[in-house]
Structure 1
C-alpha cells in the first residue's frame, strides 16, 4: 500500500509540474486591446467641485457633500437590491433630507433642493478629460458613457461640458432601472453595442464601478482621482493611472 501511495503521489506531482508552466502564460498574458470604452460620468469625466462647494456651504460642514454622495450611492443600491427604482435625482433629493436630519438641521424647501441638484448638470470636465478623449477618439476607439444619472441629465451634462461630440452614445441605467455596479448594467451595454464584455473596458474613478465591471467580465481602467480608491477585495483594475491621458498612453502601448 505504501508503494502504491508513493507512486500515485509521484504521478500527481509530475502532472502538476507539467501543468504549471502551461498555466503561467495565461496569468501573465497582456490584456486584449478593447474595442469599446465605456465611461462613467460623475467624477470620472466631470469635476464635482462646484456641487461639493455648494452642498458644504448649504449645510455649513466640510464633510456634507461626502455624506450626501455616500447616501446617494447607498440608497441607489438599496433600490436595486430590493427590486425598486427611483431615478438618481429623486434619490438625491431624499438624500438631502437624510443629510439634514443626520446633521440635526431642518429639511430644505423643495425649491432650494432643486437648485442644489440642478448644479449636477452644470459641471466642467476635469482638465485632463478633453486631451484624453481627443487622443482616444483619434486612435479609433468607440466611446460611450454609462451613468447612474437619468438620460435627460446626462444629455445636459455632456452638452454643458462640451463633451457630447466625443461619444457614439450617451447611455444611462435609466431604461434598465438597475444601478451600477449591478452586472446587468454593464452586460446590457455590451449587448446593445454588439461588443463582447472581454473586448470592452470601463473607465471610471470609482473602485465600486471598476469592481462591478470586472465581475461582469469587462476590463477596467481606474483613474485615480484625489480621494478615490480601488476596492482591495476586488480584482486589480486592468489599467490604473492618475489622469485620462495616462490611461490613453497605456492603451496605445
Structure 2
C-alpha cells in the first residue's frame, strides 16, 4: 500500500462480480440465447445504458435496464424478444448467486482487523437485500448501500461521495473494493482509495489513476491492508 495513503476506516464493496459469482446467471443467459458471448454482451448493455440514464438525468432501476437489455440483446443477435415471464426468470437469478470462495474469509479478516464494512451497488435495495440474504453475507455489513436513493449510477462521483457522507467518513479515509476497472476509476477520481480485485476476465482502466491496492482475492486485499 502506498506510504502516502492512510489506512482506510471504511471499506465499500461492490456486489455483482466482486462479492457474488455470476456464473449461474451467465450460464442461463448463454444457454437461452445460444451464444457463449451472450451474457457478456448483455451485461455490457446493462452498464452502458445505466450510464446513458445518468448522463441524461434519467433513471430506471437496474432491473428495468436489465430487462430492456435482454430485448436489445435479442435484437442484436437476430432473435425474437423473450416473453416477459422468461425475462423475469432470467433476471431473478441475480438474487440467487453464491459468494466467491474467498469472500467470507476475506470479510471475516476485514472485520477482525476493525474495518467498517458497507456495500455500494448499482442494484436497487430490494434486489440487494435478497442477494445478501441468499449469499449469507448480510451480517458482515453495517449498511447495505445502493445508488437507488441518489438515482445516479456508479461511477458518477456523487455515488461514492454521498455514501461516504452518509456513513460519516471522509472520502480519503474510505476505500472502494471492486472487480471493475470503471468502478475503481470512479472512486479514485472522486477522492477515495480503491482496491482492485482481479477476478478472471476483469481489467483495470489504464487511463485512470492506479488503484491503491491490487489483489487476486479479497483475502489478498485483506492481507495487504492488515499489514499496514
Q: Where do residues 140-159 of structure 1 align in structure 2 (5 Å cutoff)? A: 140-159=114-133
* d(CA) in 1 for partners of 2:29, 2:169: 39
2:41 aligned with 1:67, yes or no? yes
Q: 1:193 aligns with which of 167, 172, 175?
A: 167
Q: Where do residues 180-219 of structure 1 align in structure 2 (5 Å cutoff)? A: 180-219=154-193
The higher-RCO structure (CA 8 Å, 6+ apart) is: 2
Q: Which residue of 2 aligns with 1:130?
A: 104
> Per-residue deviation at 1:175?
0.5
- What CA RMSD, in Å, does the superposition of the two structures yield over aligned residues? 0.6
User: Does the residue aligned with 2:205 lie in a helix, a strand or coil?
Assistant: coil
* d(CA) in 2 for partners of 1:54, 1:147: 22
- The structure 1 segments of at least 4 consecutive aligned residues displaced by more than 6 Å after TM superposition are none
* d(CA) in 1 for partners of 2:3, 2:32: 51
- Give CA-to-partner distance per residue, 1:75-118, whole Å, 9 cap, x none: 00000000000000000000000000000000000000000000
- Which of these two proteins has the greater Rg computed from alpha carbons? 1
The unaligned stretches of length 5 or more in structure 1 are: 1-27
* d(CA) in 1 for partners of 2:97, 2:20: 6
> Per-residue deviation at 1:31?
1.4
* d(CA) in 1 for partners of 2:3, 2:18: 28
* d(CA) in 2 for partners of 1:29, 1:208: 24
* d(CA) in 1 for partners of 2:211, 2:114: 22
Q: TM-score, normalised by structure 2?
A: 0.98
Q: TM-score, normalised by structure 1?
A: 0.89
2:198 aligned with 1:224, yes or no? yes
* d(CA) in 1 for partners of 2:199, 2:132: 20
> Per-residue deviation at 1:30?
3.5
Aligned residues between the structures: 226
User: Does the residue aligned with 2:169 lie in a helix, a strand or coil?
Assistant: coil
